[in-house]
Amino acid sequence: MVSSRYPPHLGGVETHVREVGRRLTGRGLDVTILTTDLTGELHAVEHDDALVVRRYAAWPRRADFYISPAIVKEIQTGGYDLVHVQGVNNFLPPMALAAAQSSGIPTVATFHTGGHTSRLRTMVRGVQWQALRPLLRRARALVAVCHFEVDTFSRRLGLEPGRIRLIRNGAEPLPVGDRAPAITGSPLICSVARLERYKGHHRLIAAMPALLELAPGARLAVIGRGEYEPRLREMVERMRLERAVTFASFDASERADLGALLRSSDVVALMSDYEANPVAVMEALALGRPVLVADTSGLSELAAEGLATAVAPDIAPGELARTLLEVAAGPAPATTDLPDWDECTDRLLRLYEEILGPVSD
């Protein structure tokens, strides 16, 4: 599997690759993760249970282009039977697909699309996907994590929708630690995502004055790390919301603390401009938390399935505040049919067997 990033980095794709990779090794496959290290500080080779993780340098060091000739060479010389590229949002996927296909190695690509803070990168994304068209059409299988991706790429690639497999991310609850969360509120709203503008944390901050008028004990927890954090903190200071908005982040070893915080929340919100099938939301649903999302991209599907409440991304702050209270006071969503990571892994394994024949013990 080729992925731009892998734990200890946090994110939806990183979680997906680790969860299915470890389970595939448990089903008898020999799985290697090829990923990058922009810092030069992580181990070049390590084992995550039976999963082998190999990290390679990529350039530029201060941007998310992930150009890695070393991974190209490894694909060409590593003796792999199949290369599964996870994500299509930077330069690594076309490099990996081209290297594998030119070497006669079957390829699979999972889209894992997402937004971007840069308006330029967002504007050229369609051109980028169009440039990927020949490589994606030559892949032995294409995988989407939501219907929105199926519709988008079937049109852009000129393929029948049935050519693209729908395999959603797993929805399993985070572990929940014994320590009581340090952040409390009535209601407590958690906004969980990288701290980038397109993720929409600022929309929830803007709604806090109206929410505090309706519920003086309300509190917003902004959970994540990212380059937009200084701007968000400036916004909180300018609006004098320091007592009502708390910033927090959790690394890979603190997932139980994150789980305890989310389970104590009244609403988990994601007001992002673009998401496919966000793992953070799926984990919140698995914990039984009410979820509010922006009515866009793959997030709209969650609302259509009764799993979340959706509002327009440009909703007025006062209306957003009232909706947050309504969601907090409402019933928890019915989540009995959510997929788990075992189901996701089983479907991937069947896909690999269609390409290679029986591949597990």
Tell me: the pLDDT tens digits for 8-43?
988 889 999 999 999 999 999 999 999 999 999 999
**Number of residues in the chain:** 361
**Which pairing describes strands 2-3 and 83-86: parallel, antiparallel, or unpaired?**
parallel
CATH homologous superfamily, domain 188-329? Glycogen Phosphorylase B; (3.40.50.2000)
pLDDT for the residue 120: 47
Residues (pLDDT < 70) of the chain are 114-129, 336, 360-361
Q: Are 147 and 123 spatial neighbours (Cβ–Cβ below 8 Å)?
A: no
Burial of 315 (0-12, 13-18, 19+ CB in 10 A): middle
Question: Which among 150, 170, 174, 152 is positioned nearest to 162, based on CA atoms?
Answer: 150
Distance CA 114, CA 123 (A): 13
Contacts of 100 (CB under 8 A, 6+ apart): 75, 80, 83, 106, 107
Distance CA 221, CA 243 (A): 11
- Please give the single-letter amino acid code of residue 237: E
Distance CA 199, CA 274 (A): 8
Q: Which fold has domain 2-170+340-356?
A: Rossmann fold (3.40.50)
Structure token digits, residue 209:
């004055």
Burial of 176 (0-12, 13-18, 19+ CB in 10 A): middle
pLDDT for the residue 118: 52
Question: Which among 249, 358, 342 is positioned nearest to 26, based on CA atoms?
Answer: 342
Instruction: Quote the pTM value.
Output: 0.89
> Over the chain, what is the mean pLDDT?
92
Q: Are 248 and 222 spatial neighbours (Cβ–Cβ below 8 Å)?
A: yes
Tell me: the pLDDT tens digits for 71-130?
999 999 999 999 999 999 889 999 999 999 999 999 999 999 965 455 544 455 556 667
Residue spans of the domains in the chain: they are: 2-170+340-356, 188-329
List, in sequence order, every beta strand (DSSP E) within 120-202. 141-144, 164-166, 188-192
pLDDT for the residue 74: 98
pLDDT for the residue 126: 59
Tell me, yes or no, if the two domains 2-170+340-356 and 188-329 fold the same way.
Answer: yes
